[in-house]
Amino acid sequence: MVHIWNDPTEVPKDFGPTVVTIGNFDGVHRGHQHVLAQLTTTAKRHNIPSVAVTFDPHPAQVHRPDSAPELIMGLQDKLDALGHTGVDAVLVMKYTLDLAAMTPLEFVRGIILDGLHAAHLVVGHDLRFGAGNSGDVVTMQELGDQLGFGVTVVNEYGAGGFPVHHDGDSDRRCSSTWVREALSEGDVATAAAVLGRPHRMRGEVVHGAARGRDLGFPTANLSHDSTGYVPADGIYAGWLIDQAGTRWPAAISVGSNPTFDGVSRQVEAHVIDRPEENVEDFDLYGQHVVIEFTQRLRGMVAYRGPEALVEQMCLDVAQAHELLTRRQGHFDNTADVPVN
């Protein structure tokens, strides 16, 4: 069980000493995972708990809300992904201007030492912390010497360490920026390679215009306040994980339904193998579900009418079904991450 704290005051007084790392961890991609693996290895070697410190909201949303990047994942998915790395606890610090104004010494002494009783820190080579991002790994090492804790600096893996290829640039460093770039192009395969798992969105299933149902392809429409980066418009093969944790193969549409002159972008998933014996009871409305993106099938196209659209949708569903069956071998209806 992973301990989740929202303030240092929630940390039990007898919890520690600890090994700690710090980061935004948007995406918890393979570079992050490399640092977190070093964290948990160090903690096990010393037989003490490992703690990841992260922030909510993302600092960019506080300092430059008009130009902050769209987040790859919401807080719940971040906590799930951090939990899967084997950390013992996560401290989610509420990011405020007061927190941002703390000097590096104040941050380390007040939160890392007094709050988490850290004996050792494991940090990425590009660590920045404290007022105006004035602290870096050298600052942390100096504070460690001054205050009596150890520091390990980890170089995050570049793509050369993973099966990731992007325009021949095999040395590109895994980063949240790279994931966002790939998703903005609809390249969910590259995003998954950098993340180490399929990209996902999470949200409540709401009522839509019911056009899919009228055309014979009912869809689960995600609410507009769903979390997770919305990939480029198009049709994708992927999975819908319902509130009970069951995985359903799906053809996923992202876009504004140009055939019907749609305006707002919508993410909706058509479950391919709905249960035939109780199809009328297969109601996802109101459920909080996860949608995973496996591969982009095509871009979004405006068709001349419903008949042409239905013909293409049949091809999309067949292609998604074949691709998911081939990759999975068979449909495994067990989710690896709980939805609720």
Question: What CATH number should be reported for the domain holding residue 275?
Answer: 2.40.30.30
Strand partners, 298: 235
100: CB partners within 8 A, 6+ apart:
59, 62, 63, 131
How many other C-beta atoms can be found within 10 angstroms of the C-beta atom of residue 80?
Answer: 20
Number of domains in the chain: 2
In a domain, 178, yes or no: no
DSSP per-residue string spanning 155-224: PPPBGGGTT--STT-TTPBP-HHHHHHHHHTT-HHHHHHHHTS-EEEEEEEE----HHHHTT---EEEPT
Q: 221 and 281, same structural domain?
A: yes
DSSP per-residue string spanning 259-308: GGT--S-EEEEEESS--GGGGGG---TT-EEEEEEEEEEE-----SSHHH
Task: Write out the two tokens for 80.
Answer: 């799930």
In a domain, 263, yes or no: yes
Name the residue type at position 241: I
Rounded to two decimals, the pTM is 0.89
Q: 218 and 148, same structural domain?
A: no
Over residues 148-172, the mean pLDDT reads: 67
What dihedral angle (degrees, nearest 10) is formed by the CA atoms of 166, 167, 169, 175? -40
Last residue of a domain, one of 95, 126, 154: 154
CB 72 within 8 A of CB 229: yes
CB 226 within 8 A of CB 204: yes
pLDDT beyond 50 at 340: no
Last residue of a domain, one of 99, 134, 154: 154
Q: 103 and 7, same structural domain?
A: yes
Strand partners, 152: 122
Q: 208 and 106, same structural domain?
A: no
In a domain, 188, yes or no: no
- The H or E element that residue 21 is part of is strand 18-22
Q: Can you tell me which residue has the tokens 């090994």?
A: 19
Q: Phi, psi at residue 41, to the nearest 5°?
A: -65, -45
Strand partners, 293: 199, 238
In a domain, 25, yes or no: yes
pLDDT beyond 80 at 29: yes
**Domain containing residue 75: CATH number:** 3.40.50.620
In angstroms, the Cα distances linking 205 to 108, 130, 269, 335 are: 42, 40, 10, 18
Residue 99 pLDDT grade (very low, low, confident, very high; cuts 50, 70, 90): very high
In a domain, 182, yes or no: no
Give tens-digit pLDDT for 311-336.
989 999 999 999 998 876 544 444 44
Q: 136 and 25, same structural domain?
A: yes
Q: Can you tell me which residue has the tokens 């979390």?
A: 227
Last residue of a domain, one of 154, 180, 214: 154
In a domain, 268, yes or no: yes
Share of the chain above pLDDT 70, in %: 85
In a domain, 184, yes or no: no
Which class for 102: exposed (0-12), middle (13-18), buried (19 or more C-beta within 10 A)? middle
Which class for 71: exposed (0-12), middle (13-18), buried (19 or more C-beta within 10 A)? buried
Residue 207 pLDDT grade (very low, low, confident, very high; cuts 50, 70, 90): confident
Lowest mean pLDDT among 5-14, 18-27, 165-174: 165-174
Boundaries of domain holding 317: 199-332
In a domain, 36, yes or no: yes
Share of the chain above pLDDT 90, in %: 75
Over residues 286-294, the mean pLDDT reads: 97
Q: 235 and 126, same structural domain?
A: no
Strand order in the sheet with 3-5: 3-5, 89-94, 50-56, 18-22, 118-124, 150-154
